[in-house]
Amino acid sequence: MSENTTTSSSIPRLSFADKWDAVMVAWNSNAPDETFANMTLGEFIEITKPSINHRTTLAVLNVELKAGIAQRKLADQATKLLVRRVVACVIGDADFGPDSLLYRAMGFVRSSERKTGNSARVQAGTTTNATKPSKPPRPTLMERLAQVLSAWSEVAPGSSFAGMTLDQFKRATAPSTQARLALQASRTNYQAGIAARDDADAVTLDCVKRVVYGVKCDKAFGDDCPLYRAMGYRRASERRPSKRTAARISAAPHTTDHPKLPLQLSSFTVQSPIQSPRQAPPGVAKAEARSQLLAVGDLSVHRNAD
């Protein structure tokens, strides 16, 4: 029991690619010339090869996707710094400043529109959350960039901020947009690669199952052969009964080594002084019973007399 337990516990659960590789290697090592499920080893490899090819392609696409994410982060850091510099120059410019229309068009609150904080106080001198207006969500980097570009091109297209004209600013912040477009293309290709891999895996899984069942049904191999074990499956001799089966066996009544023989009533005859009336017709039975009673009575009388 312990030997089977050790052997069965040593079989790890294989992934899809490992299972395909185990079946192919076991087939090639133990029975390279055999045919299972109407397939030779070469036909099996040819049919299931797309699964491995798609996995290789998917690994390359995953590397490209991670590289695109890293490139987008680097481009966003530079774009965020340029946007802050431009907004700071607008605030510090004598022709514009923090109360200008350009500053407001870039998505910021002008100094004249800012609340002092006393407007939210009630007459009792306390503040309530119900009177506070909800803050708008903070814009993303691309939303802020779009606001800055739109405001700059509409309000002050000929002005320069942070030592850059509008065209120079567009060229300097273009890598963020380009990185996002490239990242979107990489994600699309990666999703397409996943779909192609799943379609190929469905065909491969069906072929693997057919081959394994072919090995089990083959008289020369079966589910207790080394080939079946090399494919990553537990042989029949290594399997333990399930808990339900073990419980059913333990709950079964125990029988002795010498079973009881059936009682043959025909070999024994019990003679009673009074025979059952059912064994004879009613009239005859009553007469016989009456005579037997009389005989028994006479016998008892004689015994008392003695």
Residue found by looking up tokens 């019990």 in the block: 270
User: The dihedral of CA 245, 248, 253, 254: what is its sign?
Assistant: positive
Q: Tally the C-alpha atoms within 13 A of residue 304's C-alpha that lie toward its C-beta.
A: 6
Percent of residues, the chain, with pLDDT higher than 90 = 56
The identity of residue 103, as a single letter, is Y
**Average pLDDT over every residue of 127-142:** 73
Q: Residues 204-225: pLDDT tens digits? A: 999 999 999 999 999 999 988 9
Judge contact between 136 and 146, C-beta under 8 A. no
Can you give the pLDDT at residue 284? 54
Q: Which contacts qualify for 214-218: CB closer than 8 Å, 24 or more apart?
A: 214/36, 214/37, 215/36, 218/34, 218/36
pLDDT band at 286 (very low <50, low <70, confident <90, very high): low
- As a residue count, the chain comes to 306
Can you give the pLDDT at residue 114? 83
Q: Residues 58-74: pLDDT tens digits? A: 999 999 999 999 999 99
Distance, CA of 155 to CA of 106 (rounded, Å) = 10
Can you give the pLDDT at residue 137? 87
Can you give the pLDDT at residue 1? 40
Can you give the pLDDT at residue 222? 92
What average pLDDT is seen over the chain? 80
More confident residue, 206 or 276: 206
Can you give the pLDDT at residue 168? 96
Judge contact between 155 and 59, C-beta under 8 A. no
Can you give the pLDDT at residue 7? 44
Can you give the pLDDT at residue 142? 95
For 167, the token pair is 């065209």
Ordered DSSP codes for 155-199: H-TT--BTTB-HHHHHHHHHHHHHHHHHHHHHHHHHHHHHHHHHH
Distance, CA of 153 to CA of 90 (rounded, Å) = 14
For 242, the token pair is 């399930």
If phi > 0 it is left, if psi is from -120 to 50 it is alpha, else beta; for residue 114 that is beta
**Average pLDDT over every residue of 18-31:** 90
More confident residue, 97 or 251: 97
* Residue 161: strand pairing partners: 164
Residue 276 scores a pLDDT above 50: no
SS3 assignment, position 125 = coil
Among 148, 143, 150, residue whose Cα is nearest residue 161: 148
Q: What is the pTM of this model?
A: 0.63
Judge contact between 154 and 105, C-beta under 8 A. yes
Judge contact between 193 and 58, C-beta under 8 A. yes
